[in-house]
Structure 1
Amino acid sequence: MELHDVWFVLIAVLWIGYFFLEGFDFGVGVLTRLLARDRAEKRVLINTIGPVWDGNEVWLLTAGGATFAAFPEWYATLFSGFYLPLLIILVCLIVRGVAFEYRHKRSEEKWQRNWETAIFWTSLLPAFLWGVAFGNIVRGVKIDQDMEYVGTFFDLLNPYALLGGLVTLSLFTFHGTVFVGLKTVGDIRERARRLALQVGTVTAALALVFLVWTQADKGDAASLAAVVVAVAALVAALAATRAGREGWAFTLSGLTIVAAVAMLFLTLFPNVMPSSLNADWSLTVTNASSSPYTLKIMTWCAGIATPVVLLYQSWTYWVFRKRIGTQHIASETQPITSEVAH
């Protein structure tokens, strides 16, 4: 296996890790409107991801940086062609981070309500737009012989990509609902389980159509195996949720994301961005990659740094592993700084 093939796999792993981790905290952000009944419950939901959301976003930064260094042509074409949707995602992530940090700085209801509204929308939009973006990458876009995107923004809003957006939005919401059930106690935990069954059923229907469509259009035996794993894991996650086994449900919903994203990358390889105008103009792991020397240096750096990052992030999740409920939230009359959001 050549180094450019290795780095395609590594970038796929980074995106899988990002969607697994950021997926549930996007889902929790959406649930601040769908599940929480009052201010205290919103604070519980936000506190479940308070210690980890920023660490989850590191996977996105690493995936983007690795793409830039390993496949500069891919990075250039992707970020120029998808400029507007990626800009919207970037702005959402910035506002979302600010909302988490500023929401509890003042006790006024309007102040907190506005930041909570921002958390909801800046979680929902990226969850949808990432599916649209990857749907277009897999489907193929208008790339000319100079490796430049020559389509328009509206070309990206095709039925396949929009379905991909609905799949990621519903799947992340399901993943987040299961996570809330795993991390909370009391009534909110029970309602999270009931909502997870509803959202999971919708997710299963959307995901099945999208995965079968992708497999029929571009799939092979390896991607078919990934489809089978994704569908089986999602069905098993629903069964575990119904049985009240939150740990298994979360593991299986995560496996669904892992298998589904792996399936997309399997159908993509050896392309990194197929051209819908001419297959010969597609960006591949060969014509879009950096020099072998650059990839060699990157491999050494990744081999040293990655275990450290994984150990640190695992330790963070272990430290903040306990469940929380409304009884752990300071009353509105107490100083807002006593909140455990971060």
Structure 2
Amino acid sequence: MGLQEVWFVLIAVLFTGYFVLEGFDFGVGMLMPVLGRGRTETADTRRRVLLNTIGPVWDGNEVWLLTAGGAMFAAFPEWYATLFSGFYLPLLLILLGLIVRVVAIEYRGKIDDPTWRRRCDWGIVFGSWVPAVLWGVAFANIVRGVAIDENKQYIGGFFDLLNPYALLGGATTALVFALHGAVFIALKSADEVREDAVKLAARLAVPAVVVAGVFVVWTQLAYGKTWTWLVVGVAAAALLAVVALTRAEREGWAFVFTTVAIVGTVVLLFGSLFPNVMPSTLGDTLSLTIENASSSPYTLKVMTWAAVIVTPVVLIYQGWTYWVFRQRISTKHIPKSIGLSLGTK
């Protein structure tokens, strides 16, 4: 395996980590209107519980996206340039959603006013739903292929990206992230919040399995390879296991299998894509591949040494963070005062 293949795999791993970790962050934000309902005081306390389940880790989870984007820019600059220029509007909407969510989370507890907190809550919901949908749309289009000309420029329009396959991809990521988030809330909370999250996860499991199953099979039949059938089987089995486990209120194992399903889906997408990084619908010779889109061998070599040194440190630190903040949270742990940031002080 050459360095181009290595960095293609590493970028796939980074996006896998991002979708697994940021996926439940999105899910928590998406489900706030449902799991945060109640009287004004009760609703605010429940929403603070939801936010505190991701409070110590959500900003660290976003680092995976920054690293994936940086790795793509350095290892495959042509891929980065074509993707970010051609998909400018959807990626801008994703960025806008992420910014709104960050501001809403950080500033929600700064002003003791119900109207202010309600507006911040809607900012969190918006900043969770928009990226959750558009990431699926974007990656479905990358696998499907878009109109790339001889200058390595995308010559289609925004509405060309809203094809049936891509929209199904957006529905898949939205439903799977919502399910992933519901299971995570059940795993990290206690008392009535956990009970409601378990029930919601059980209701979300079936539609998530149906939509994701159709998307995965479509991907395999249209773009997959022989070996990716194994990945399809693993992802399908994981999703079916989630249905049974959520009904049995085994949220720990359910979270493991939603993670497996997300990992399997990302592996299927990148496996179907290889050796292309961005196929062209105008002809195979115009497609971007790991060879014609990559940086020089020297650049890849320097990046590889940097990754070997830095990556273990980052993984150990993030793993330690999850271990320290592994306890469940309930409404009893939330003080009456608003406090700072997420309301934990």
TM-score, length-normalised on structure 2? 0.97
- Structure 2 CA distance for partners of 1:339 and 1:138, relative to 1, 3 Å: closer
Map 1:1-342 → 2, pairs under 5 A: 1-37=1-37, 38-331=43-336, 334-337=337-340, 340-341=343-344
Hey, what's the Cα distance between the residues in 2 that align with 1:335 and 1:275?
A: 52
User: 1:220: Cα distance to partner?
Assistant: 1.6
Q: Which consecutive segments of 4 or more residues in structure 1 shift more than 4 A?
A: 338-342
User: 1:34: Cα distance to partner?
Assistant: 2.0
Give the residue type in structure 1 aligned to 2:267.
A
1:329·1:339 contact (CA, 8 Å) conserved in 2? no
Bigger shift: 68-77 or 145-154? 145-154
Hey, what's the Cα distance between the residues in 2 that align with 1:74 and 1:150?
A: 15
User: 1:245: Cα distance to partner?
Assistant: 1.6
Give the residue type in structure 2 aligned to 1:31.
L
- Structure 2 CA distance for partners of 1:29 and 1:293, relative to 1, 3 Å: same
2:188·2:328 contact (CA, 8 Å) conserved in 1? yes
Which residue does the alignment assign to 2:40? none
1:330·1:338 contact (CA, 8 Å) conserved in 2? no
User: 1:243: Cα distance to partner?
Assistant: 1.7
Q: Deviations over 1:161-217 (max 9, x none)?
A: 000000000000000000000001111111111110111111100011111111111
Hey, what's the Cα distance between the residues in 1 that align with 2:72 and 2:341?
A: 41
Hey, what's the Cα distance between the residues in 2 that align with 1:237 and 1:117?
A: 29
Give secondary structure in 2 for the equivalent of 1:272: strand
Hey, what's the Cα distance between the residues in 1 that align with 2:148 and 2:156?
A: 8
Give secondary structure in 2 for the equivalent of 1:277: coil
User: 1:242: Cα distance to partner?
Assistant: 1.7
User: 1:239: Cα distance to partner?
Assistant: 1.5
CA RMSD for the aligned pairs? 1.1
User: 1:338: Cα distance to partner?
Assistant: 9.1
Hey, what's the Cα distance between the residues in 2 that align with 1:68 and 1:336?
A: 40
Count of residues in Structure 1 that have an aligned counterpart in Structure 2: 340
Give secondary structure in 2 for the equivalent of 1:336: coil
Give the residue type in structure 2 aligned to 1:78.
L
Give the residue type in structure 2 aligned to 1:97.
V
2:26·2:128 contact (CA, 8 Å) conserved in 1? yes
Hey, what's the Cα distance between the residues in 1 that align with 2:76 and 2:124?
A: 33
Hey, what's the Cα distance between the residues in 1 that align with 2:242 and 2:309?
A: 35
User: 1:341: Cα distance to partner?
Assistant: 4.8
Give the residue type in structure 1 aligned to 2:340.
T
Percent identity, please.
61
Hey, what's the Cα distance between the residues in 1 that align with 2:208 and 2:338?
A: 40
Hey, what's the Cα distance between the residues in 2 that align with 1:19 and 1:341?
A: 26
Give the residue type in structure 2 aligned to 1:209.
V
Hey, what's the Cα distance between the residues in 1 that align with 2:125 and 2:163?
A: 25
- Structure 2 CA distance for partners of 1:272 and 1:249, relative to 1, 3 Å: same
Hey, what's the Cα distance between the residues in 1 that align with 2:14 and 2:177?
A: 17
